[in-house]
Structures are given as C-alpha cells and as structure tokens.
Structure 1
Amino acid sequence: MTTRKYKLLALDMDGTLLNDNHEITLETIKWINKAMDEGIHVCLSTGRAAHSAMPYAEQLGLDTPMVTVNGSEVWKAPHELHRRTLVDPDLIRQMYELAIEKDVWFWAYTVKGLHNRDNWLEEGTDLTSIEWLKFGYNTENDELRYQILMALQDMGGLEISNSSPHNLEINPLGINKAAGIQEVCQLLNIDMSEVVAVGDSLNDLAVIQAVGLGVAMGNAQEPVKESADLVVGSNNDDGIVEVIRDYILV
C-alpha cells in the first residue's frame, strides 16, 4: 500500500458530508469507500449527538473513532466511548435563563437525549442530576444573537461556536473539534499534520486551522473559507469527492 501524506479524513456532517436533504450522495459514498480501501481512516466530526450521527457511520461502514457534540464526546469506535466532557449544570441554568429572557429558540443535549424550548425539564427538576453535553440558541435576529453572545462571553468558561449563521453552540472551554481530533490522532497513532479536516461552520474552524490540510466547503461561512487551505465544491456538489480524489488519493 502506498504511503500517503494524509492518513485521516475528518468530516463534518451537516453542510459538509450531507447534502441539503440530509443525505450522503452515492458518489460521495463511492469515494469514501475508495479512501477506506486505500487505508485512509475516515472519522465523523460533528456537532450532532452520537445517536444522530451513528446511522450515517453505519451507512458508511465506519469502525474508526468519532468526534460528536463538537468534541464533548470522543468515541474509540462507534458505540465505544473514549472520553466525555460535561457542561457545569450551573452554566446550563444561566444559559437557560438567558434564553428565556431573550425569548429565543434554544436546545440542550444531555447524555440521554435532546431538550428544547418545547420540551424543557419539568418545573423543579434538579439540573445537577443530569449529564449536560451542549447548549444552543437559534435566532435569525442578528442583534439578539449578538446580545446573547456578549452575555455568554461575560459568563466565562465557555467554548462558543456555531453550526449555522443563525445559531450559537456552547461547549465547555477548550472542548472543540480540534481537541477531539487530536485525541483521535493519539488513538490511531498519527500526527495532526497527517489529517485532512473538512467543514462549513464556525464549529469547524479550530480543527481546520489545526490539521495538515484544512478544507472549507463551497457553502461554508466566510470566516471558515478565509481560514482554510482550500475551498472545494458545496455539500450539494460532492465537494468531499474533490477532496478525496484530488488531495488524498494522489
């Protein structure tokens, strides 16, 4: 087998691996399989929770590590947890109160599932009895989103990113996809310089800057494109195929 410059392909899911119908195209599947046949590790690196990423990992036949919830969880293999980092329940309380004050859509991932504005906890539930992974806000009102961002920065101890221009995603400080992929590299005994990371949103920024080849999708947010080594086609135009064909299997 050829010794290749890159040994790990870290793929964001929404807006990257998945097209706008939340599907992986047959052409993308074909090229991911080609990469795996050539000994390239393919790793999902997503803001989604594991239960929501797992069906796609299974569809691709992945048995490699995974990074979920923006790095709050690192999996040694699908269904085999390596590390989990939780959000302080007191910070969850503050973020919840901020969401109510600003009257915006919000959600939170716990180890057991998803809560949002429509199915928040019952009155009087002890927040410390729950394992929290991530909190998020969504609003198309730019001014409101900016006010929330400023309030979050004042709280401290938070890693703030987004997975679309209209949302904010919050993890514990220092927890991001770059830290997650660094751990995956240790598990696979490879170097960050041997990684290609592909994404479209601010939650991909740290990893795109940290790896050997950072790739932005054609539909990526501008700061991501500006930070990437390379911009490829959009998630609806099989941009991942371009990455594998022209930069990994060469």
Structure 2
Amino acid sequence: MKLIASDLDGTLLNEIGQVSENNAAAIKKAVDQGIRFVVATGRSWDSASKPLQAAGITSPVISLNGATIYDEDGELLHEVKMNRDVAKEVLSVCREAEMYLEFFTNKGIYSASREYFVEVLVDIMKSANPNLTEEEIRANAHLRFQNEPVEFIDDYDLIFEMDDVVIYKILGFSLKPEKLAGVRASLGKEKELVITSSGDINLEFNHPQAQKGVALKNLADRLNIPMEDIVAVGDNWNDVSMLQAAGKGIAMGNASDEIKQLADGVTKSNIEDGVAALIESILIGKN
C-alpha cells in the first residue's frame, strides 16, 4: 500500500479528541517507510489541523467531507461549492423541521445561536464519551470556539446576501429521529445534493462531488497513486464513499454493524488505537 487515508472523529482521534501517542508513532513510522498519510474529515481545515499539529503530524487534509482539499502546508488545492439555490432549499426544509444548522463557508462557520450550539455539542459529546463528566464535556464543547471561527448571526438568510461567501457544507442537528428522516426524504431526490451523516443526530449536506471518496481520488491522481494502492479507514456514513473507493476499506471497531458490513475488514476501536493496529498490519505485510 502506498497511501493511508483516515477519518478523524471516532477513528484517528480518541475519546478526548486527541491523536494518541501510539497512533502518532504508527503514522510517523509508515511515513518513514514511504507510505503517504492523508486525513479525510467532515471538519473544517482549521479544526482538523489542531489535533494533527499537537501530535506532530503533517499531512494533506481532505476537509468538509471532500468540499476542500489542502496540501501539507495548508494551501487550498481544490474546492467544491454548494449551489446557492440548493443551499436555500436545504435551509427551508431544515428550518421547517426546526433543526439547528451550521453553514461551513470560506469565511468560517455561521450559526444562529451560541447557546443552542453549545447544547448540541454537549449532546454529541455525551453520546460519544459516556465516561466523561458533565463538566468535562462542557469544557470540551467550549473549546470549539477556540479551534475554528464561528460567527453567530440573527438570521441564516443573511448568508445569502453576502456575495463573497462560498458555501461548502451545511450541517444540521436534531434530537428527533423522525425529523432527520423527514428532511432526508424531502431532499433525497435533489440531484445537486448528497446527504450523509457523521452521527445519530445529524445530517451533512454537500455537493455530490464533495464526498470523501471523490476527493480521495482527486488527491490520489495528483500524487500519481492508483486507488488500489490505498487503504481508507473510518467509522461512519460520511466515510462510506472513501471506504468503497479505496483499494481496501477498513471500518473501526466502534463503527456500526452496517458500516462494518460495507467494509473489507475491521480494526480495533478508536479508544484502542485502531489506526495504529491497522498501520502495523500494513507494515508487517509490506516487509
């Protein structure tokens, strides 16, 4: 294998949002042996780069599910914009369903309520990290404001009045499964929209060309690496396109059974350094 592509949350990152020492050491060992490493995440570049820098990892980053691709130096290589009329339709349907929304743009993230923003993050972190206390979860939630720019506006419609704003992704949350299902059903036939998810309480809206699998192919072509020489690893539905596009797609041990069934294999969970275990198996096969 010539390239390893890894998701972040629930995959490379542990329960406190960090790259473990074992994962970092395994990545550096693979790079030293000539294997390229790439991160593919639903996060923005700003948010994705923080845990990587803390672990001493430098790599290209496929961010916002594939809407943007950055090189090792943080330079934008490629972008896929959402159609503004489609984005307006997403806003309309999600607003009717009373969903909380975040707009990811070239100017940062736009949200309509700081309080709701924190409560949504707390709910996400509670389900993902049941061992953390309420105080720890709220402290981690507030770190989001330090990791990437979030601007709170009175009305989402204001975004569409800004001619210089490019919309890359819309992220919507609801604690009601029937609301999520209804929105997915209402927007599912829109040809210029792909709907994925990175958790049980959210939906992610992108242009069809802004998917991890498409972006991974784009980056692989730039690096002259055949897709069959790539291993991709992830844990959720927004990872499926790259798990299926890569020569070998590996699901995390903490992934759902549905994701595991779509993958070619399964590694350990994110809190058991599953990425490191995968890399070690690749290096053993290489030698």
**TM-score, normalization: structure 1?**
0.92
Task: Say whether residues 1:227 and 2:262 are aligned partners.
Answer: yes
Distance apart, 1:206 and its partner CA: 0.9
For residues 85 and 124 of structure 1, the distance between their equivalents in structure 2, rounded to whole angstroms, comes to: 21
Q: CA deviation at 1:136?
A: 1.5
For structure 1, which runs of at least 5 residues remain unmatched after alignment?
A: 1-5
Q: Is there any run of 5+ residues in structure 2 with no aligned partner, and where?
A: 114-151
Structure 1 186/67 Cα, relative in aligned 2: closer, same or farther at 3 Å? same
Q: Secondary structure at the match of 1:16?
A: helix
Which residue of the other structure, out of 78, 83, 86, is the alignment partner of 1:83?
78
Alignment of 1:90-129 (within 5 A): 90-118=85-113, 119-120=152-153, 122=155, 125=158, 127=160, 129=163
CA distance in 2 between partners of 1:203 and 1:78 (Å): 25
Equivalent in the alignment of 1:205: 240
Task: Give the whole-Å Cα distance in 1 for the aligned partners of 2:219 and 2:56.
Answer: 18
Residue 43 in structure 1 maps to residue 78 in structure 2 = no
**C-alpha spacing 1:37/1:107, structure 2 compared with 1 (3 Å):** same
Structure with bigger helix share is 2
Q: Tell me how far apart the structure 1 counterparts of residues 156 and 223 of structure 2 sit (CA, whole Å).
A: 45
The one-letter code matched in structure 1 to 2:71 is K
- Partner residue of 2:180 out of 142, 145, 150: 145
Question: Over residues 7-32 of structure 1, what are the superposed CA-to-partner deviations in whole Å (9 max), with x where a residue is unaligned?
Answer: 10101000000012101111111111
Equivalent residue number for residue 9 of structure 1? 4
Matched residue type, 1:16: T
CA, structure 1 residues 16+126, in 2 after alignment: closer, same or farther (shift >3 Å)? closer
CA contact (8 A) 1:57 1:78 kept: no
User: How far is the alpha carbon of 1:134 from its aligned partner?
Assistant: 0.1
Report the Cα offset of residue 199 of structure 1.
0.3
Residue equivalent to 2:193: 158
Change (3 A) 1:214 1:117: same
* Contact 1:12/1:198 (8 A) holds in 2: yes
Would you say the 8 A contact 1:42–1:62 is kept in 2? no
> In the aligned structure 2, how far is the partner of 1:137 from the partner of 1:126?
16
For residue 21 of structure 1, what is the amino acid of its counterpart?
Answer: I
Q: Tell me how far apart the structure 1 counterparts of residues 10 and 220 of structure 2 sit (CA, whole Å).
A: 24
Does the 8 Å contact 2:112/2:156 carry over to 1? no
- Contact kept in structure 2, 1:200 and 1:224, CA below 8 Å: yes
What is the distance in 2 between the residues matched to 1:63 and 1:22?
17
Residue equivalent to 1:167: 202
- Cα offsets for 1:20-72 (capped at 9, x unmatched): 21011111111111111111111010111111112233334444422111000
| 1:60–1:124 distance in 2 versus 1, CA, 3 Å | closer
Following the alignment from structure 1 to structure 2, what is the Cα–Cα distance between the partners of residues 59 and 39? 22
Q: Distance in 1 between matches of 2:13 and 2:157?
A: 39
User: What SS does the aligned partner of 1:169 have?
Assistant: strand
SS of equivalent to 1:19:
coil
Q: 2:27 and 2:34 mapped to 1: Cα distance?
A: 11
SS of the aligned residue for 2:172 comes to: strand
User: In the alignment, residue 187 of structure 2 is paired with which amino acid?
Assistant: L
For 1:21 and 1:126, the matched residues in 2 are separated by 32
- Please tell me whether the aligned partners of residues 28 and 57 of structure 2 are also in contact (alpha carbons under 8 angstroms): no
Q: How many residues align structurally?
A: 245
Question: Tell me, what secondary structure is at the counterpart of 1:47?
Answer: coil
